[in-house]
Structure 1
Amino acid sequence: MEFQEAITRLALQTKPLEKQRWKIITFRRSTSSSINAYSKPQKKSTSTSIKPQDAPREFLCPISGALMNDPVIVSSGHTFERACVQACNTLGFTPTLEDGAGSPDFSTVIPNLALKSAILNWCKKHSLNPPKPLDFFTAERLVRSKLEKTQQVNRVSYHEDRAAEKDLINRVKENPPAKLNFAVSDLTPGTAHHFSTSSDESLTLAMPTPPLQLATRPSCYSSASSSSEIEALLVNPEEEEFLTKLKSALVHEVEEGLVSLRRITRTKEDTRAQLCTPRLLSTLQSLILSRYTSVQVNSVACIVNLSLEKANKVKIVRSGTVPLLIDVLKGGFSEAREHACGAIFSLALDDHNKTAIGVLGALPPLLHLLRAESERTRHDSALALYHLSLVQINKSKLVRLGSVPLLLGLVKSGQMPGRVLLVLSNLASCEEGRAALLDSGAVECLVGLLRGDELQCVSTRDSCVSVLYGLSHGGLRFRGLAKATGVVEVLLEVENSGSERSKEKAKRMLEMMKERIDAEEDVDWEELLESGSMGTTRSSLGCKKVESGANSSEF
C-alpha cells in the first residue's frame, strides 16, 4: 500500500516537468522557424538591390559608364552609346580604352540591335527601368571633360620628360663617359687595331659604352611614337604666350592678348594653322560669351581669322565653337553678331560642316539677321544661308521655318536681291521649296522683276532666271501661273538678250511649255470628261507627280 502511494507521488511530480520540457521544445522550434521566415525576405531584398551600375561590363558605355540606350558598333569593332560617338566626332577626340582594347575608329556607325535587346531583357529580369536616351549636350560635356583630363595628363608628362631630358644632359656634361674618345676614334678609318684581340673578354672591355643621353631616351622620343604624336607634345612658345594673357584674371591683359591674336591671325597666314589648337580654341570659347564688349568682339573676330585657313574649318566646328557663335547671333553685341555671321559663313564653305551647322540651329538666327541694321551682317547672313542651303536637309528646314515669304519680301523690296535670289534658287531645286514658292506667288514676282528694270546686274538677272527654271519643274501648276503672267514674252526677251547661261535655261523652259501645249491640243478634253478617264490621261502627259492641291494643303 505504501509502495503504490509512493509511485503515485512520483507520477504527480513528473507531470509538470514534462509540460515544462515540451514548452522548451516548442519554443526552440518556433525560434528556428521564425529565423528561416526572416531569412527568406532578406534574400529577396538583396536580389532587388541590383543597380544599373551592376550590369555586365559589355552593357555599359566605355565613355559614359552607364547602360546604353542606343548602342552602336564603330569601325574598330567597339561598342559605344550613339550620342557619345557623335560628341567624339564633333570634338575630334579619340578616347583611350582600358585593358589594352586598342584605339576606336568612329568613321562608320552601325546599330547594335542584339546588344540593345539583351540590355532591355536584363533590365526587365531585374525589375529595372530601361536606360534613358543620352542627349547630345550631356554626352558632349562628358567627352569634353575627358578631353581636358587627357590634355592635362599629356602636358604633365611632357614637362616631366623635358625635365628628365635636361637632367640627363647636365649629368652627361658633368661626368662624360670614360671611353668616349675611343668611341669617337672608332668611327674614323685606320683605328681598328686598337680593338683587335683574340680574347672575348678583352673585346668586351675595349668596346666603349654609349653616351648616357643616347642610351637612355625620354618616352616622347621612342621609336613607337609617330611624328604626329611628337608634334602634338611640342609646345609653341607663341601659343603659350597668348594662353597666358587670355587666361589672366585682369580684363585689360585679356583684351591686349585678344587684340594681338586678332592682328597676327589677320596679317600672317602661316600662323593660323599653327595657332588653331584645341587649347587655344577652348580658351577662346570661354571668352566668346563675355559681358565685356571688347572681349566678346575680339574673341569672335579671332575665330573668323582662324577659320579663313581651309584646314582649320573642320577643327573649329568639331571643337564645339558653333553653338557659342549661335548664342552670339541671338543675343550678342552688335559688332560681335557681325563677326559671328562672318564666322558661320566662312565655316559653311566646307562641305563637311554644312549639315552640322544646320543641325546645331544656325538657320533661325541667320534668317532673323537678314533684317539687321548692319549691312555687313545682312550680307554675310545671306551668303551663309546660300552655302548652307546647298544641302538637302537644310533646304527642308528653311522651308519649314517659313523662309520663302520672308525671302520673297526682301526681293520685292529691293534688299540684297542678288544674294537672296541665290538662296531661292537652291530652294527651288527641291519639291518642298517649289511648292512653297508657288504658294507664295513667286512666279508673278520673278516675271515682274525680269520684265522691269529693277535687276540691272547681269548676275542678279541670271539668278532670277535660275529660280524660274527651278519652278518650271512644277508641272501643270507652274504652266498655269506662268501663262497668267505672260512668261513666254519675257522668256523670249531673255533668250535674245540674256547671258549664255540664261539663254540656255530660257530656251529649255520655252520648249517645255510648247511640248505641254501641243500635248494638250491633241487631247479631246470633253471626251475624257465623259469617259471618266481623266486621271489616267493626265498621268500619261507626265503630270502624275504634280498634285497642286496636295502641295498647297501640306505646306
Structure 2
Amino acid sequence: MGGNGKHRWILSFSRASSPSPKSKKGPKEPPKEFTCPISGSLMSDPVVVSSGQTFERVSVQVCKDLGFCPPLDVRPPPDFTAVIPNLALKSAISNWCESTGAVHPPPPDYTSVEKLVRQKIPNAGESGTRPIRVSERELLKCVAENPPPVIHTHAVSELAQRVSDRFCSGSSEESVIVAETPLSLKTRPCCYSSSSSSSEFFDFETLNPTRTRSPNFQPNPEEEELVLKLRSRDVFEQEKAVSSLRNISKTRPESRAALCTLRILSAIKPLLVSRYSSVQVDATASVVNLSLEASNKTKIVRAGTIPYLIDVLKGGFSESKGHAAGALFSLALDEENKMAIGALGALQPLLHALRSDSQQTQQDSALALYHLTLMNTNRVKLVKLNAIPTILEMVKSGNLASRVLLILCNLAACVEGRTIMLDSNGVEILIELLRDSKGEGLESTRENCVSALFSLSQGNFRFRSLMKEVNGMEVLREVEKRGSQRAKDKAKRMLEMMRERDDGMCGSSVDWDAFLESGEVRRTR
C-alpha cells in the first residue's frame, strides 16, 4: 500500500458497504391484533363476527363448515353466524407491511386452515367435528341456503283489525348523549311477560334430516302438531296452524319460550311471505307474540327470520306490514340483535314505513329505528341513506314529531349526522317547533326537541351562529322558565355554553364569513 491515502480510502469504503447488523435481522413480528387467533398468521381479509372479535375470513368459513368453535381465550365466546369486513384493520395491516417491508399476506389456503382447525377438535367422533352451539351457527345459515321468495302487494286482508293493546309507551333510563338527562323513551309491548323458560330443546332436523334423535328425547305433542300443519301444502291446514300459534302465543305467555323452537321458526318462515292474506297476517303476528319473551329475541333473529320480515315490510299486506314493523321493533330491544338487523338491510324499509298510511306502522317503525340507532354503525348507515332531510321534513310537518325527534337525537351523536342536520336547516326547524309546541300533551315533543338541539350543540361553534340567526336564545330562555325539569336543565346548559363563548370572544372581532367557510375562527385585535 505504501501509505497511499487513496488506497486507505478505498479500503475504508469497502468496509462501510458491508451489511449492517440491522439488515441481517429478519422481518418484524406482526402485532398480535394483526394475526388471526385461529390460524395464527397475518390476516389477509379480516372480518368482524357477531360476537365482536376479528378473524381471517377463511378461518371463519372453515369453522362454520365444520360446525366447530375453537376454544379461544376470548370473551364473549366467538359467534360466527354473521361477518362484516373490517376495512380499517385491513388498511392498517397493509400500511404496516409497507412500512416494515413485510410481504402482503395472500389469502390462506382453505385446506391448510381446515387441517389446523381439525387438530383443535377434542374427542372428534366419526364425523371429525362436534356440534357448534346454536348461538354460533344459525343467524344467516338458513337465509343463505333458503333465500326468501319475492312477494307482491295484494289486496288488504279482510281479517279483523290488529289488537290495539300490543304496544304501549313507557319510561326509560336510556340516554343517547347525556347520561344524567335520559330521553323519555324506551317502549315495550304492554303484554310483555317477564316469565321465561329455563331450558329449550333445539332440534336440527330441518338442517340435517338424517340425524338421529337422543333416546331420551320427549317430543312435545303440541309442537309436533303445529309443525306438521305449518309444513302442510294444504292452505287450510296452514291457516289453522298459524291461527292456533297466534292465539296460543297471545293468550298463554308462559308457552312462548317452549314454542319458539328452530323447527317451528323454520316452518313459519315461508308462511311470512305467503300469497294468502290470512296466512301471512297470522304468521307475522305470531312472530311478534313469540318475540315478547325476552329469551326468544336472539333465537328468532338467528333462525333467519329478519329477511322475511323485511320483505313483508316492503310488499306485504297492509296489516302484515304493521306486524312486521312491530316485530322488528321488539327484536331491536335486544342489544345482540341491533347489529344483525341493521346489517341485513332493515333500515331503509323502516325509514320508508315512517310514511305508511297506518299510524301503528309509523309508530313501530319509528321505535325500531330509535333503538337500532343506539348503535353507531346503524347511525352512520342511516345518515348515508339520506334519512335526515326526510326526518326533518316530518318534524316540520308535525307528523310523528315526538318519535322521530328521538331518532334525530341519536343521529346527532355522530359527526356526519350533526353536519347534515346543520346543513339542512335543522336548528331553524327545531326552534320553530319549540315556538309552536306550547299546548297540552306536547311536553314530550318539547323535551325531545330540546334534546336534539343539545346534541347539535356539542363542540360546534357553528351551532351558536345559527341559533343567533333564528333568535333561538329567546326560545331557550322561555324553555328554561316554563319547560319540564329535563328540558330546563338542557336549555340552561346550552345558554351557559353560548354565554361562555361570548365572554371568551370579548375584546376581539371574529370574521364569521370566513369562519363559516373554513370552520376556523380568525381573531383580530
- Report the Cα distance in structure 2 between the residues aligned to 1:376 and 1:118, rounded to whole angstroms: 49
**Partner SS state of residue 117, structure 1:** coil
Deviations 1:463-484 (A, max 9, x none): 0000111111252211111001
Which residue pairs with 1:152 in the alignment? 209
Question: CA, structure 1 residues 515+521, in 2 after alignment: closer, same or farther (shift >3 Å)?
Answer: same
Q: Deviations over 1:108-136 (max 9, x none)?
A: 8999999963747999xxxxxxxxxxxx9
Counterpart position of 1:196? none
The structure number with the bigger radius of gyration is: 1
Contact 1:434 1:474 in 2 (8 A): no
**Alignment check: 8 A CA contact 2:510 2:523 kept:** no
Identify the match of residue 81 of structure 1 among 51, 58, 62. Answer: 58
- Provide Cα deviations, 1:479-522, integer angstroms capped at 9, x if missing partner: 11100111111111111111111111111101111011111123
Q: Which amino acid aligns with 1:152?
A: P
**Other structure's SS at 1:390 match:** coil
> For residue 241 of structure 2, what is the aligned residue in structure 1?
257
Are 1:95 and 2:67 an aligned pair? yes
Structure 1 range deviating more: 316-325 or 451-460: 451-460
Residue 406 of structure 1 pairs with residue 390 of structure 2 = yes
8 Å contact from structure 1 (residues 308, 346) kept in 2: yes
Corresponding residue SS for 1:522: coil
The separation in 2 between residues aligned to 1:121 and 1:102, in whole angstroms, is 20
Change (3 A) 1:241 1:356: same
What does residue 222 of structure 2 align with?
238
Q: How does 1:142-221 map to 2 (within 5 A)?
A: 148=205, 151-154=208-211, 156-158=212-214, 161=215, 220=216
Q: CA deviation at 1:459?
A: 1.4
The aligned residue for residue 374 of structure 1 is: 358
Find the residue that maps to 1:152 and give its secondary structure: coil
**Contact (CA 8 Å) 2:281, 2:317: kept in 1 or not?**
yes
Q: Secondary structure at the match of 1:326?
A: helix
The answer to whether the aligner puts 1:515 opposite 2:500 as a matched pair is: yes
Tell me if the contact between 2:451 and 2:490 (Cα under 8 Å) persists in the aligned partners.
yes
8 A Cα contact 1:382 1:423, kept in partner:
yes
* 2:508–2:523 Cα contact (<8 Å) kept: no
2:144 is the alignment partner of 1:141: yes
- Tell whether the 8 Å contact from 1:328 to 1:340 is kept in structure 2 after alignment: yes
Matches within 5 A, 1:32-43: none
Shift in CA distance, 344/525, structure 1 to aligned 2, threshold 3 Å:
closer
1:507, 1:73 → 2: CA distance?
42
Shift of 1:391: 0.8
The one-letter code of the counterpart of 1:516 is R
Identity of aligned residues (%): 47
- Contact 1:428 / 1:470 at 8 angstroms: preserved in 2? yes
**1:343 positional shift:** 0.3
Which residue in the other structure is 1:480 paired with?
465
Q: Does the 8 Å CA contact 2:141/2:304 hold for their aligned counterparts?
A: no
Alpha-carbon RMSD across the aligned residues, in angstroms, is 4.1
Q: Give, in whole Å, the separation in 2 of the partners of 1:264 and 1:469.
A: 46
Residue 499 of structure 1: which of 455, 462, 484 is its match?
484
1:538 aligns with 2:510: no
Please state how far the C-alpha of 1:141 moved relative to its aligned partner.
Answer: 3.4
- How many Å separate the matches in 1 of 2:432 and 2:223? 56
For the structure 1 residues 343 and 517, does the alpha-carbon distance in structure 2 shift closer, same or farther, using more than 3 Å as the test? same
Q: 1:310 to 1:455 in 2, by over 3 A?
A: farther
Provide Cα deviations, 1:197-220, integer angstroms capped at 9, x if missing partner: xxxxxxxxxxxxxxxxxxxxxxx5
Partners of 2:298 and 2:406 lie apart in 1 by 25
What is the SS of the residue equivalent to 2:326? helix
CA 1:245 to 1:495, structure 2 compared with 1: closer, same or farther past 3 Å?
Answer: same
Closer, same or farther: CA 508–328 of 1 in aligned 2, 3 Å: same
Structure 1 residues 319 and 241: CA distance shift in structure 2, 3 A: same
Q: Which AA in structure 2 matches 1:326? A: I
> Matched residue of 1:283: which SS?
helix
Asked if residue 464 in structure 1 is aligned to residue 436 in structure 2, the reply is no
Residue in structure 1 matching 2:270, options 286, 310, 327: 286
Residues 121, 491 of structure 1: alpha-carbon distance in 2 compared, 3 angstrom cutoff: closer
Q: Check 1:102–1:337 CA distance in 2 against 1; reply closer, same or farther (3 A cut).
A: same
Deviation at 1:153, TM superposition (A): 3.7
Contact 1:95 1:103 in 2 (8 A): no
- Per-residue deviation, 1:269: 1.0
Q: Which amino acid in the other structure matches residue 296 of structure 2?
A: N
Q: Which structure exhibits the higher relative contact order, with contacts defined as CA atoms closer than 8 Å and separated by 6 or more residues? A: 2
Determine helix, strand or coil for the equivalent of 1:538.
coil
SS of residue matched to 1:234: coil
Checking the alignment, whether the CA contact within 8 Å between 1:370 and 1:377 is kept in structure 2 is yes
Q: How has the CA–CA distance of structure 1 residues 249 and 143 changed in structure 2, closer, same or farther, with 3 Å as cutoff?
A: closer
Q: Is the 8 A contact 1:278 1:319 kept in 2?
A: yes
Amino acid corresponding to residue 413 of structure 1 in structure 2: S
Count of residue pairs the alignment pairs up: 376
Q: CA deviation at 1:302?
A: 0.7
Given the superposition, is the C-alpha separation of residues 306 and 84 from structure 1 closer, same or farther in structure 2, using an over 3 Å criterion?
Answer: farther
In 2, are the aligned partners of 1:84 and 1:143 still within 8 Å (CA)? no
Q: Is the 8 A contact 1:84 1:139 kept in 2?
A: no
Q: Would you say the 8 A contact 1:438–1:478 is kept in 2?
A: yes
Distance 2:353 2:210 in 1: 43
Which of 98, 117, 130 is equivalent to 2:106? 117
TM-score, normalisation: structure 1: 0.60
- CA contact under 8 A between 1:69 and 1:81: conserved in structure 2? no
Larger helix share, 1 or 2: 1
| Unaligned 5+ runs, structure 2 | 1-37, 94-102, 113-138, 148-202
